[in-house]
Amino acid sequence: MELKTYIETGIIESYVLGLISDVEAEEFQLMRKLYSELETEIEVVERRIERAAFDEAVLPPVQVKERVLQSFRWEAGGGGAFAGDVPPNYTFINIQPKNNDHIMVHKYWRIFFIFIVLLAKILLFLSIFYFLKYAQIKEQRTGFNFRQTSTEQYAPNISSENNFTI
């Protein structure tokens, strides 16, 4: 395919906008290897789209810059930094600061807090359970002591009555 015709299909624009299909992407990479002048045209198109976007630029709110800079500082501080292109096998819950009254914590804190809450609930359950058990035993013991005392009090009379009967 002639390079000019190929360029005029809008393939570079598709590539820059991310609309290119896998098959087209393979063909595009092959064409880049075959025709070095295609690189120049890619740059021209990219610059054209860049100019268009800059003409329509909208200033983001100031808080966005603060959040971005905070994330940069977080990265630089080693909070989530990693070198090279290998993505990390962990993520962070990034609590964005507002007037310095927020903190950032590692996601493992979530597991820790869940564990603490569950442990607290188990302990609460056990304490209620054993308290009720203790109250029940105490009640039984009081009842038993009462019966034993009554038995001891009236036992000699019963015995003497029995003896009399005999």
Positions in the binding site for other proteins (CB under 8 A): 8-14, 16-19, 21, 29, 32, 39, 42-43, 45-61, 63-65, 67-69, 71-73, 75-76, 80-85, 96
Q: Which residues sit opposite 93 in a β-bridge? A: 105
> Quick one: 17 or 114, whose CB is closer to other proteins?
17
Least spacing, CB of residue 108 vs other proteins, in Å: 20
Residues 6 or more apart whose Cβ sits within 8 Å of residue 82: 88
Smallest distance, other proteins to C-beta of residue 65, A: 6
Q: Please say which residue, 26 or 161, places its beta carbon nearer to other proteins.
A: 26
CA 33 from centroid of its chain's CA atoms: 43
In the complex, minimum distance from the CB of residue 113 to other proteins, in angstroms, rounded to a whole number: 24
For residues 107 and 147, which CB has a smaller minimum distance to other proteins in the complex? Answer: 107
In angstroms, what is the minimal distance from the CB of 95 to other proteins?
A: 13
Which residue, chain included where needed, has tokens 């001891």? 152
**Distance in Å, CB of 120 to other proteins, minimum:** 34
Nearer to other proteins, 99 or 163 (CB): 99
Q: Are 79 and 90 in contact (CB under 8 A)?
A: no
Torsion of Cα atoms, 22 then 19 then 31 then 53, to 10°: -150
User: Considering beta carbons, is residue 57 or 103 the nearer one to other proteins?
Assistant: 57
d(CA 46, CA 40): 10
Q: Give how far Cα 132 sits from Cα of 1, 105, 127, 137, Å.
A: 87, 40, 9, 9
